[in-house]
């Protein structure tokens, strides 16, 4: 029985892995050819990543509670892994790298590296509170193919 299941799902998983590899290699190539880190337009984005009011409010609370003098920003990145091949990762960061795109609203900055941007352009970042957790999440993503899992840090 398990042998027949493996034979049935092998083509699906193989196709999914190839699709993920193509997506990663095409986005990396596009970044190398179209965005130079020293270019002033490298942080310009035609399709911004949006932040909801809940996201802005929670970031303001986190920044106010920080004892560090460094400005904290929300960093969104997309990494390989998860059930569908990709996962969103949120971190607090105090540094902007040369290949980052910065989206700002009401003084709150969302930072996305160029490779991850290809997977989240036009997306919306929200902060949700549920009974068992509270976390930053990507609620709408027109760039997502299939599903994407969120790995989040709760603050």
Is the overall model pTM greater than 0.95, yes or no? Answer: no
User: Which residues pair with residue 111 across a beta bridge?
Assistant: 75, 102
Task: Please check whether residue 73 is in contact with residue 94, taking contact to mean a CB–CB distance below 8 angstroms.
Answer: yes
Backbone angles phi, psi at 77, to 5 degrees: -135, 160
Q: What is the pLDDT of residues 12-53, one digit of tens each?
A: 556 566 666 655 555 444 443 333 333 333 444 568 899 999
Comparing C-alpha atoms, which of 88, 83, 81, 97 is closest to residue 143?
A: 88
Q: What is the pLDDT of residues 58-100, one digit of tens each?
A: 999 998 887 776 788 999 998 887 666 788 899 999 999 999 9
- Give me the pLDDT at residue 33, please: 36
Count other Cβ atoms within 10 Å, centred on residue 145. Answer: 14
């Amino acid at each position: 029985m398990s042998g027949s299941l493996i034979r049935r799902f092998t083509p699906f998983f193989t196709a999914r892995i190839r699709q993920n590899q193509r997506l990663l290699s095409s986005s990396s190539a596009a970044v190398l050819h179209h965005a130079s880190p020293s270019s002033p337009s490298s942080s310009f984005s035609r399709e911004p990543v949006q932040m909801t009011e809940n996201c802005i409010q929670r970031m303001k609370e986190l920044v106010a509670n920080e004892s560090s003098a460094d400005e904290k920003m929300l960093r969104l990145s997309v990494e390989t892994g998860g059930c569908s091949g990709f996962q969103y990762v949120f971190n607090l960061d105090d540094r902007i790298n040369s290949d980052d795109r910065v989206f700002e609203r009401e003084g709150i900055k969302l930072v996305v590296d160029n490779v991850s941007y290809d997977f989240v352009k036009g997306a919306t970042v929200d902060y949700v509170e549920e009974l068992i957790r509270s976390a930053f999440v990507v609620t709408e993503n027109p760039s997502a193919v299939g599903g994407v899992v969120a790995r989040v840090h709760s603050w």
